[in-house]
Amino acid sequence: MMEIILLAAAFLAGAMNAVAGGGSFLTLPALIYAGVPPVAANATGTVALLPGYASGVYGYRQDLTPVGSVGLPTLSLVSLAGGLAGAGLLLITPDTVFRGIVPWLLLAATALFAFGGALAQRLRSLGLHGNGALLGTLFVVSVYGGYFNGGLGILLLAQLSLFGMTDLNAMNGLKNLFSAVLTAIAVVAYAVGGAVEWPKALLMTVAAVAGGYIGARVGRRIPKAALRAGIITVGLVMSAVFFLK
């Protein structure tokens, strides 16, 4: 029964990430429900969703561009460093502490998903400029992604828009690149730290890949407003469930 729940959660998470994001809203609660400790559940769910980021990079490979005068190698290195730092923070967080902040993280990720556009406009109004600010904010967002993956895509898009990017294809390409890089190094850290339950991770990976393929094909036929409303609802429900536990 638990295997069916994990497969279903991973399949739906892969589909959600393919069309709009928010897959972590399902994988993390499903793994915790299956009895996986919270820190290991976060790490295991992240492993399961990594192939989706990698395939996204391949799909947008022709749209990848530097940000201003900062090239892709430098941007990727900063993202990698932030992801590693975030993963390290997760590994030293006690399960009891992480369990207590899970509902807040889910709620924050839901808010990011719901108000990502307004956040991007607000960030632009702050008037941050320069390569130092670009790399500094990318590092901070990558630390968040290495610690807790939920809402990462929204934060990355908002961060890129802050520094003048408007081409959505280029922004999505960079978003997938940074997500893949920081998630990959985080997965290595999780593995070294013994935080990944590999049988569950591999099982969910297969389902997530299948869900991503189906989601990419079917998701285009679903109105974006309906998709966003559905994912926000899932995030709010999962947050409420963990607040009440």
Tokens found for residue 235 = 């995030």
Is the model's pLDDT at 176 over the cut of 90?
no
**Residue 219 — pLDDT band, cuts 50, 70, 90?**
low
Is the model's pLDDT at 153 over the cut of 70?
yes
Half-sphere exposure in the Cβ direction for 88 (13 Å, CA): 8
Given the structure tokens 């968040």, which residue do they identify? Answer: 144
pLDDT at position 62 is 85
Alpha carbon 184 to its chain centroid, in Å, reads 12
**Residue 60 — pLDDT band, cuts 50, 70, 90?**
confident
Query: Residue 93 and residue 95: Cα distance in Å, rounded?
Result: 6
Average pLDDT over residues 157-176: 80
Three-state secondary-structure class, residue 70:
strand
Tokens found for residue 169 = 């294809």
Q: Are 100 and 209 a contacting pair, CB within 8 Å?
A: no
Is the model's pLDDT at 169 over the cut of 80?
no
Average pLDDT over residues 67-85: 94
Is the Cα dihedral 189, 57, 149, 45 positive or negative? Answer: negative
Three-state secondary-structure class, residue 67:
strand
Average pLDDT over residues 112-123: 71
Burial class for 191, CB neighbours closer than 10 Å (0-12, 13-18, 19+): middle
